[in-house]
Structure 1
Amino acid sequence: MSRMVLLRDHLKYSDTFASWLHHQFAYEFGSQPLCEWQREFREGQNDASWRTLIMLEDDQLLGGAALAKHDLPERPELGPWLACVFVAPSARQRGLAERLISGLCSEAQALGHHQLYLHTQDRRDYYSKRGWQYVESFRAWGKEHSLMQLKL
């Protein structure tokens, strides 16, 4: 049975999850070396810049998602953000991403937030079906993205 936990309480998984993100979203990291991102991400668990929920099963990391203070340099006035949603390929098609997203929405509400933002390159339909509203399109990292918002 899979369980959702805060990464800050299970930091031994931080470097692995950060490396998955660095690989999956390489275009966002530009020239930031993996080791620097791993350090930033790990520190972000303690200062809440990257408050992350992870999914574990038999102590195996399956995926995670983060509540980020800042996730789009071009829009520093917006936040917090649903970010870093990633499920390992071997664990997909089990509804884990949806559970992680729902868990982060609950975390955000408990912290007093009334809305979340996200940006996506290719999953706009996925999020729209789950209540997220399209705000605008923009170009970043050499790609077209959709900015979306969810009222909590």
Structure 2
Amino acid sequence: MLRVDWLVNHMDKCNLMAEWLYREFTYEFAHQSLGHWQKEFSAGQRDGRWKCLVALEHDQLLGGASLANDDLPERPELGPWLACIFVRPDARRRGLAARLIEGICNHARQAGFATLYLHTHSERDYYAKLGWEVLERFEAWGKEQWLMSRRL
């Protein structure tokens, strides 16, 4: 049975989620070890900096999405951010990413935020289908990126 819950309630899965993110977004972690990121991500579950919503099935982690205070150091005036979206390959095409994204958007709206931001280098069209708008194109980590927002 599929469950969506906060990662802070399943901290035994935190290092695995952090590892998946580290491997998927290697360009963002070029100057950070996996162990350091796992500690930062774990601390972020407890203090809210990387509040992650996860999908689980039969107690197996399928993926997650996070509400982050800061996800783009070059734009400290923006936030909060939809960040760290990852669904493991064998669990894709089930609508899990969209469900997790909506969960983060709903949580942010209930917390009083009016707008969420994200950046992506490869999924601009996917996010546009979910109601996100392109604000600008920029270069970061040696890749073309898209800064996007969504009114809540």
Aligned-pair CA distance for 1:110: 1.2
> How many pairs are equivalent?
152
Q: What does 1:37-52 correspond to in 2, within 5 Å?
A: 37-52=37-52
Aligned-pair CA distance for 1:31: 1.8
Question: What is the match of residue 73 of structure 1?
Answer: 73
Q: What does 1:86-101 correspond to in 2, within 5 Å?
A: 86-101=86-101
Looking at structure 2, the residues matched to 125 and 90 of structure 1 have their Cα atoms a distance apart, in angstroms, of 22
Looking at structure 1, the residues matched to 133 and 91 of structure 2 have their Cα atoms a distance apart, in angstroms, of 27
Question: What is the match of residue 5 of structure 1?
Answer: 5
The structure 1 segments of at least 4 consecutive aligned residues displaced by more than 2 Å after TM superposition are none
Aligned-pair CA distance for 1:68: 0.3
Aligned-pair CA distance for 1:141: 0.5
Amino acid across the alignment from 2:41: F
Question: What is the match of residue 138 of structure 1?
Answer: 138
What is the TM-score with the length of structure 2 in the denominator?
0.99
Q: Percent identity?
A: 56
Aligned-pair CA distance for 1:129: 1.1
Looking at structure 2, the residues matched to 110 and 23 of structure 1 have their Cα atoms a distance apart, in angstroms, of 32
Aligned-pair CA distance for 1:130: 1.1
Aligned-pair CA distance for 1:9: 1.0
* Cα deviation digits, residues 17-38 of structure 1 (max 9, x gap): 0000000000001120000000
* Cα deviation digits, residues 85-106 of structure 1 (max 9, x gap): 0000110010000000000001
Unaligned runs of 5+ in 2: none
Looking at structure 2, the residues matched to 144 and 4 of structure 1 have their Cα atoms a distance apart, in angstroms, of 32
Aligned-pair CA distance for 1:147: 0.2
Q: What does 1:48-127 correspond to in 2, within 5 Å?
A: 48-127=48-127
Looking at structure 2, the residues matched to 34 and 124 of structure 1 have their Cα atoms a distance apart, in angstroms, of 27
Secondary structure, aligned partner of 1:27: helix
Unaligned runs of 5+ in 1: none
Looking at structure 2, the residues matched to 129 and 91 of structure 1 have their Cα atoms a distance apart, in angstroms, of 20
Question: What is the match of residue 16 of structure 1?
Answer: 16
